[in-house]
Amino acid sequence: MADKENKTVNFEKLKETVRVGVRMQDNVIDATPYFLEENKKQALGERRVGLGVMGLHDLLIYCETEYGSEEGNQLVDQVFETIAVTAYETSVELGKEKGSFPFLQGESEEDTNRLRKAFAETGYMKKMPEAIRESIVKDGIRNSHLLTVAPTGSTGTMVGVSTGLEPYFSFTYYRSGRLGKFIEVKADIVQEYLNKHPEADPNALPKWFISAMELSPEAHADVQCIIQRWIDSSISKTVNAPRGYTVQQVEKVYERLYKGGAKGGTVYVDGSRDSQVLTLKAEDNTFEEEDNQAQEEKKVVLVDTISPLRDTDVTIGSEVGNTCPVCRKGKVKEIGGCNTCTNCGSQLKCGL
């Protein structure tokens, strides 16, 4: 949806994509095989769909707008308002063509009118243009819910864009994987920018290349609340907080989310678990305090490339009970769902 040459959003393309997406998702409801009668009754009765986004941070970067800034929030608000209004316009048209979702239809015309008016008077619907609300009262609407924002962690990572509505965790980071702990990941959009601007310093990128950990928790929360205004279901968003964030500070973030209209929220304090999927440094996946600054640097290896020592009867490998193939000192134990070395903390095999 980014017009890269003009550094703007192609709103006409966005609208057309939303129209097609809503119609496609409505068709999916009828094409889906339902194994439980109760499930079928609910799905066909409310005809709920959930059109979402991914790559939002990429869009802002192409528009040279900083995620979490006042300018960025204004653009995000405009984008999601466009998505919401277009989705509801499309569902109203579908309602005229194929009928409203059954749960909006009463036993009599009077009941139906009452239900439609109640639907149009909900808090969310009051943000919609008056023409849409009037059309719903007059002709109904095809779907009870139309929008959400899913995490899209796997799909976003697969195609190389930011996931869901999240900013990039970092533009170079390490991801915990099945073959080993330290898999370095670099964002494609950075290389694209450097290719177009060979004079640019990769260590001093423009301000719109801001990462999740550089944003304040308050900025994370505000972006979520702005988007929630235009989303009729819940959304997936993590408020990233720095290591050492206190209980009282976390409480204030949740209060900010609540007062801002968010339906829910997740605050993740960096380092608050013994292991985490995303880290800025390979050695950050251990929760142990590094009091000894002269500690030997951990090696970055793929477990499958390590051959056992020939002159020992010690079993070296990634299974529980084996000797760690990285440091050759610790034993492998299951910690937090992962086969982890008790000495160097390497996650050698993960079931998550």
- Buried b vs exposed e over 307-337: b needs ≥16 C-beta within 10 Å? eeeeeeeeebbbeeebbbbbbeebebeeeee
Residue from 28, 58, 56 nearest 44 by CA: 28
Q: Where are the alpha helices (DSSP H) in 199-262?
A: 217-228, 247-259
Q: What is the pLDDT along the chain (352 residues), one digit of tens a residue?
A: 999 999 999 999 999 999 999 999 999 999 999 999 999 999 999 999 999 999 999 999 999 999 999 999 999 999 999 999 999 999 999 999 999 999 999 999 999 999 999 999 999 999 999 999 999 999 999 999 999 999 998 899 889 899 999 999 888 767 666 666 666 667 899 989 999 999 999 889 999 999 999 999 999 999 999 999 999 999 999 999 998 999 999 999 999 999 999 999 999 998 887 666 566 554 444 444 444 444 444 333 333 333 343 344 678 888 889 888 877 888 989 887 788 888 887 877 765 4
Which three-class secondary structure state does DSSP give residue 137?
A: helix
- Residue 321 vs residues 208, 301, 302, 304, 316: alpha-carbon distances, Å: 47, 20, 19, 17, 9
Which three-class secondary structure state does DSSP give residue 167?
A: coil
Beta strands 238-241 and 266-269, pairing class: parallel
Structure token pair of residue 281: 């440094």
Q: Judge if pTM exceeds 0.85.
A: no
Residue from 177, 173, 172 nearest 303 by CA: 177
Q: Where are the domains of the chain?
A: 2-139, 166-269, 298-352
In this prediction, residue 169 carries a pLDDT of: 87
Which three-class secondary structure state does DSSP give residue 223?
A: helix
Task: Report residue 263 CA to chain centroid gap.
Answer: 15
| Angstrom distance (rounded) from CA 156 to CA 154 | 6
In this prediction, residue 339 carries a pLDDT of: 85
